Structure 1
Amino acid sequence: MNDMHVERIGLATLYLGKWQEIPDLPYPAAVISDPPYGQSVNTNVRRGDVRIPKTGGGAIKDRAHLYPSGIYGDDEPFDPKHLISMSEIVLLWGAHKFAGCLPQGSWLCWDKMPTGKIRSQGDGECAWINTAGRPMRIFRHLWDGLCISSGYETQCERSGQAAVSRVHPTQKPVDLMAWCIEQARVPKGGLILDPYMGGGSTGIAAVRAGHPFIGVECEPQYFEAACRRLKHAQATL
């Protein structure tokens, strides 16, 4: 793995690369991840889909340039079988997109519009957890363009050119991932692995709850953003 890079930040160990190519990954207490859904290349970042104002007002600048690498692997259907055996606890977001490939389990829901408004991109998302027989649980957290509830963790991502509201096209709120850790009932101090780390929200939630964390991301842009965010999170513990 000539291109692999490792950053150790407090409780977190972050790898730049593909998780399949990392030797000797330990067996984690839980896998909690938001893998590629197989929707299309550059999910949620087609030019013109989302726009943000430049700092100081005036001209409008589209967001597509912020995610030039899109999401690796999102151009083909996702098969979760490689993740299901990676831990005794497995929680996967976007699972409604590949539900036909999953064994029996339980479901979590993220209601993005607790106000009742209907979003053009859908009103929420679902996560699957490999523990059958639990009731469905719903996390209500506003997520509609510039209307975003607290817990989004954007304060360390501002630049002189634009207020960047997210560092990854499918970034999840840290509060949502903290809720996931609770719902998954990860043992105290148990290692959490995210093989599709993206911008690092799972890692922030993990270290704040006292869990060691391993995150893997193959796109340098998102890996660097995750490092920045984890460093900020560790500095504010």
Structure 2
Amino acid sequence: MSLESLITSLPAWPVADFSEFGEVEVKKLTPVQKLTGRFLGRNWLAIPHVTHHDEVDVTEAETRRADWNRANPGAKVSPVALLVRALGRVLADFPQFNASLSDDGQSIILKKYVNIGVAVDTQGGLFVPVLRGVDTMTLADIAAAIAAIAEKARTKGLSMAEMSGSSMSLTSLGHIGGTAFTPIINAPDVAILGATAIQLRPAPGDDGAIIWRKCLPLSLSYDHRVINGADAARFVRAIGGIFADGTLFE
């Protein structure tokens, strides 16, 4: 059954006068909200989503990030900047994540560039500006680019060109909370990485005592037509390895 015939076969959307049940307020959706809603609805219906959830140990990375921010008060680095840099490195070893399906679904287009879309929450709706060539950028460059494009999204808005051409996307709720969610893939990408708030987890120390580690929950949604579950698990583990080896700050 085609997507179109599936949609037309569904029951009609229920219509209700909610004011019959109590006081209501009607607010118009913003143009961005309407456009985003259409795109996300299409992507959720058309792409066979699977979401892999895992946690990666970021204890040492968080210590180094705090040291960095104390030493560079004018160029502070967020966990989002670290994730963007990690993606820039991991995608080289997982080319099926840096890909898109052809329009006819018969071919996979492997991209040789690394551009990361970073979701930005604004009063007018959700924007996903794209940082280009992150695999060649320094950590400070990435942090500055995120800050600049996020400010532009919140104050001036973004053009479609500034939100096009991503390898994959990143969305973070870490500044709010949560432990896991299911991010919707930003077509024509085949994957999106979601992050939530860092959690404290107990772990055994060398002397048998309990020590506390900082762990970052990650939720990787992927297109199952292109990516399988084993590779998704390896992809997230590889991100954890980069956070642990200290090279993010080099």
Please state which band the TM-score falls in when normalised by the shorter chain: under 0.3
Q: Which has the larger radius of gyration?
A: 2
TM-score calculated relative to the size of structure 1? 0.27
